[in-house]
Structures are given as structure tokens and as C-alpha cells.
A and B are shown apart, each in its own frame.
Chain A
Amino acid sequence: EDKVVQSPLSLVVHEGDTVTLNCSYEVTNFRSLLWYKQEKKAPTFLFMLTSSGIEKKSGRLSSILDKKELSSILNITATQTGDSAIYLCAVENVGAQKLVFGQGTRLTINP
């Protein structure tokens, strides 16, 4: 059974800190790993990773995939209160053509 595990489940930091969120997976026929940010409603897409070792970057957010370790990290530097959200990691399986989500990391940035 495909499985995605995120850690930590909850994280509280102060504005300006840097955070690293983790995602590990077990999946057959891996296609891609995705990161989403969810505030109050629907998740919004952040990154899609398919190749190991290639960092994707968007502003203060960056992410990288390690296919050997079956994991990915999401980094957020110089955090702001607007970064407070649930961050979801999902894996796309070629065969099943669906996304399997991790439990999510609830990130809280205090001013």
C-alpha cells in the first residue's frame, strides 16, 4: 500500500526563523512528489519534483527530492506570519493515477 509520512506534524516558530519540513514515501511506480500549502480552503500547488537532487525554488521556499532516501524536504527561509498553514506532501503514482497525501505539517509562525 502506498504511504506518505510527514514530519513534524506540528511546528511553531518565530517570524524570521527558517524551517524544514520532511516527507518520506513508499510507493510503487513513482512519478512525482508534490508539495501543497493549505490555508483555510483548497490546497494550492507549490512544487512538483520528479528528479533527484534538483532543487526547485520559489521566493523563500525551496524543495528537493532524494529518490535514494525516498524523501523530500521543503525549506522556508525568513518565515512570515503569512506562511502559517498546513503543508501537504503528496506522491503521484503512475499506475494508480492518483495522489496519496501525507498527514500534513501544521506550521504556525508567531510574530
Chain B
Amino acid sequence: GAVVSQHPSRVICKSGTSVKIECRSLDFQATTMFWYRQFPKQSLMLMATSNEGSKATYEQGVEKDKFLINHASLTLSTLTVTSAHPEDSSFYICSAPRGPYSWGETQYFGPGTRLLVL
């Protein structure tokens, strides 16, 4: 079964509003989670690394004031898209590594959240 969940799976909002997306690790603790964005027919682009108990690390070109990340607990990270605009419409996926060593093989992806900003 799923080990990482995301909520909501789909959201439609008006331009200018803020949207919060939750990512939860279901049966393990994740001190680190990753947030990706995927535009249609494109690959996953890492947006930021969410760190429990400290500030998130953002990739170059990603506005930290627009994409607020809060790693509230060892099983929950949230991504808030503030003042969303139509160009923010995308598929947002989180992932969490389960093991302490090889992060690749044990990286579990959430089912994704499809955001549509009107």
C-alpha cells in the first residue's frame, strides 16, 4: 500500500488565493521530504528540500516566499502556494526517503496534487 500520501489530490482555485498541500509519510518518520513540480509532458523538477526542525532548502529559481514549506513533524510536510497565479498550475509531487543510506531506492513518492489556478 501507499507509504506517502498527499492531500488534496486535486484543487482548483482562483488567482490570488493560497493553496496548501500536505505530504505525509504513513508508517515511517521522514526528517527530509522533497517537493517536485511537473508541468505537462515534462519531467520532475525539484523545487525544495523540506527539513524537519529547520528551514527548507530551495532550488535555484524557486521563490521561497511564494512556495512556503513547513516540515511540522516527522511525518508531515506542507507546501503552501501563496497568491497563486495560472502559471503555478502544475502537478506537485512530494517524496520521502525511508532509509538513511541509499536515498534513491527507498524514496517513496506521493500520488501527487494537481493544481489548477483559474
A residues with a Cβ closer than 8 A to B are 31-32, 34, 41-45, 48, 88, 90, 92, 97-104, 106
Cβ-neighbour of B102 out of A32, A88, A98 (below 8 A) = A32
CB contact list, B6-37 vs A, under 8 A: 32, 34, 36
Asked if B112 contacts A41 (CB within 8 A), the reply is yes
Per the bound structure, the CA–CA distance linking A104 and B43 in Å amounts to: 6
Q: Identify 4 new A-B residue pairs, CB closer than 8 A, beyond the known A43-B44, A45-B105, A98-B34.
A: A42-B93, A48-B104, A88-B44, A92-B104
Return chain A residues, CB-CB under 8 Å to B72.
none
Contact A32 B109 (CB under 8 A): no
Residues of B within 8 A of A (CB): 32, 34, 36, 41-46, 49, 93, 95, 102-105, 107, 109-112
Give A107 Cβ to nearest chain B Cβ, in Å.
13
A44 CA to B26 CA, complexed, in Å: 17
27 A-B pairs with CB atoms under 8 Å apart are A31-B102, A32-B102, A32-B105, A41-B112, A42-B93, A42-B109, A42-B110, A42-B111, A43-B93, A48-B105, A88-B43, A92-B102, A92-B103, A97-B32, A98-B46, A98-B49, A98-B103, A99-B46, A99-B95, A99-B104, A100-B46, A101-B36, A101-B45, A101-B46, A102-B43, A103-B43, A104-B42
Query: With a CB–CB cut-off of 8 A, which chain A residues contact B102?
Result: 31-32, 48, 92
**Residues of B with C-beta under 8 A to A42:** 93, 109-112
Candidates A32, A48, A92, A101; contact of B44 at CB < 8 Å: A101
B residues in contact with A48, CB < 8 Å: 102, 104-105
A102: chain B residues at CB < 8 Å are 43
Task: Report how far A103 CA is from B43 CA in the complex, Å.
Answer: 5
- Bound Cα distance from A97 to B34, whole angstroms: 11
| Bound CA span A98–B107, Å | 10
**A75 CB to nearest B CB, Å:** 20
**Least distance between B111 CB and chain A CB atoms (Å):** 5
Inter-subunit contact B104/A31 (CB<8 Å): yes
**Which residues from B are CB-within-8-Å of A88?**
43-44
Residues of chain B contacted by A90 (CB below 8 angstroms):
44, 104
